[in-house]
Amino acid sequence: MAIMLFENLRALFYAPFYAAYTLGAYKAEGLDVQMQLSPSPSGNVEALRDGTVDVCWGGPLRVLLDHDRNPQSDLVCFLEVVAKDPFLVVGRRPNPGFRLADLAGIKFASVSEVPTPWICLADDLRRAGIDLGKLNRDATHTMAENEAALRAGTLDAMQVFQPYAEAPVADGAGHIWYAQASRGFTAYTSFYALKGTLAAKRGEFQAMARAMTRTLRWVQNHSGAELAAAAAGYFPDVPRAIFAAANERYKALGLWATDPVNSRPGFDRLKAAMLADRFIARDTPYEECVDTTLATEAKNANLAPL
């Protein structure tokens, strides 16, 4: 059995996806998942529709956006892996009493590469009563450029994912101010596909759901260093100690799903942020965007540990 998969982009918080390969989770289910790196996350839905790939992993934001543009959309999330927001606010100086209001009046850089991190943080700020128009926010540089600016002292704080947080923390050049995961469940990364493809390749997707569920259980029962070892081949330029520390931080935050069924509270929190940002206009119900059957079957199956 074979499935063609688009990898959304390469990031440390996707470590469980890579571990599924190196731990042999797919092979154990008799499944050949052929992974390609997506040319652009924004083009993943088109690739599903033109048959380039069968499935993608990425943000439920893409699914909500597709349903917003096309109320007849047949795109669904079906198995959650990253259940909380992996982005962190890192400051140049220690700030143990950090409040979101502290971002007003300083030079702050948000993520420019993808939309979800800022949409979610902006929602946190609105809920805290902060006027976004008063922020001195730079949204034009990459995370790597912002890390360099923080180290150079030309930036007070930045919004990044790992390892751009852990690396400056490790040598004292940065300090964690805020973990966006601390707000609780926020739908962040799921497998998603067309309903018709899920039906046509039901057996393959059942195997994929079992394999990923077994991988998520392995992640819960192993250390950040063990997960780093399992995924290290995909990140040859990231020092192993930094990768392990990043994983431990993410594990402590409860980043990765323990239940593969897409969280309704997490979906609702993401949707609320997108609506508040006017990124979407339609309040699409969870049931239109999520197929829970595959994840529920895998969750309830008597699966042997990896």
Residues in the chain: 306
pLDDT at residue 48 in the model = 97
Query: What is the second-level CATH architecture of the domain 2-84+185-300?
Result: 3-Layer(aba) Sandwich (3.40)
Which residue type sits at 96? P
Range list for CATH 3.40.190.10 in the chain: 2-84+185-300, 88-183
Token representation of residue 196: 């018709």
**Pick from 133, 169, 124: which is nearest to 150 by CA?**
169
User: What was the pLDDT predicted at 235?
Assistant: 98
Q: How far apart are CA 248 and CA 212, in angstroms?
A: 20
Q: How far is the C-alpha of 171 from the C-alpha of 166, rounded, in Å?
A: 9
Q: Are 269 and 116 in contact (CB under 8 A)?
A: no
Structure tokens at 60: 């439920």
Which of 3, 14, 179 is closest to 81 using CA atoms? Answer: 14
Whole-number pLDDT of residue 42: 82
Task: Return the pLDDT at 71.
Answer: 93
pLDDT of residue 41: 81
**Residues 88-183, CATH architecture:** 3-Layer(aba) Sandwich (3.40)
This prediction has a pTM of: 0.96
Q: Which residues pair with 107 in a beta bridge?
A: 136
Full pLDDT tens readout for the chain, 306 residues:
899 999 989 999 999 999 999 999 999 999 999 999 998 888 899 999 999 999 999 999 999 999 999 999 999 999 999 999 999 999 999 999 999 999 998 999 999 999 999 999 999 999 999 999 999 999 999 999 999 999 999 999 999 999 999 999 999 999 999 999 999 999 999 999 999 999 999 999 999 999 999 999 999 999 999 999 999 999 999 999 999 999 999 999 999 999 999 999 999 999 999 999 999 999 999 999 999 999 999 999 999 999
Nearest Cα to Cα of residue 194 among 285, 283, 70, 94: 70
Residue 281: predicted pLDDT? 98
Three-state secondary structure of 65-98:
HHHHHCCCCCEEEEEEEECCCCCEEEECCCCCCC
Write down the pLDDT at residue 1. 86
Q: Are 204 and 3 in contact (CB under 8 A)?
A: yes
